[in-house]
Structure formats: structure tokens, C-alpha cells
Amino acid sequence: MTRVSAPLWTLPAQVDAVGGSPALAAVTVAAFGLTVLLAVFVTYRFARGYLRTRRRPMLYLTVGLLLLAPLPMFLRLLLGNVALVTDAGRTLVVTASKLCGLVVILGVVYR
């Protein structure tokens, strides 16, 4: 028995765009994905810098950047897909992560 699969472009779209066109939604999702990749890359470079120098301020900068950029993005994605978490709860957790990241970075800068 031979299985024939349909080309990807013939599959019906399973996405509904609310508040804008599907093209705008696709660009927004792509930009969010690129932002996540760049944030993870920059955090990775900070971590490599810490591993190379073993200087504690670099470790704190790495943790602060992690709390400020990639972690809130992942939390937003994760908590946005959990039915038990309200919008206010998700916003609180994401904002707390950003705040902690800024406090850690400011602690290193003004030390």
C-alpha cells in the first residue's frame, strides 16, 4: 500500500487571525520567534563569557539577562497555553521575572 501525502501548501489553514490579517499574524509570530532566538543567543554568549573568565559579575549579568529577556518570553508562551492561568496571573509572573532581571543587572552595574 502506497501512501501519498498532499503538499504542504494545499492543506487548509488551521489558524484564525483575531484583530488583523493572517499575514500580519504570521509576521508577528515570526518576529517573536526571531526575538526569542536572539535573546537566547545573547544570553548564551554571556554564559560563555562567564565560563571563560569565571568572574562573578559576568555570572550575575547572565542571570539578569536570562530573567529579563528569554525567560519572560518562554513564560508568556507556556502560561498562555495553560487554561488555569489567568491573563493577570501571566502578566504578574512575566513582569516579576523582568523586574528581578533588572534588579540583578542594576546590582552589577552599581556595585
Q: How many CA within 13 A on the CB side of residue 93?
A: 15
Q: pTM of the predicted model, to two decimals?
A: 0.77
Give residue 13's pLDDT. 54
Long-range pairs of 16-22 with CB within 8 A, sequence gap ≥ 24: none
* Strand extents, DSSP E, the chain: none
Higher-confidence residue of 101 and 17: namely 101
Radius of gyration for the chain, computed over Cα atoms and rounded to the nearest angstrom? 19
Neighbours of 69 (CB within 10 A): 19
Domain boundaries, the chain: 22-109
pLDDT beyond 90 at 15? no
- Tens-place pLDDT, residues 34-90: 999 999 999 999 999 999 999 999 999 999 999 999 999 999 999 999 989 999 999
Q: Are 36 and 70 in contact (CB under 8 A)?
A: yes
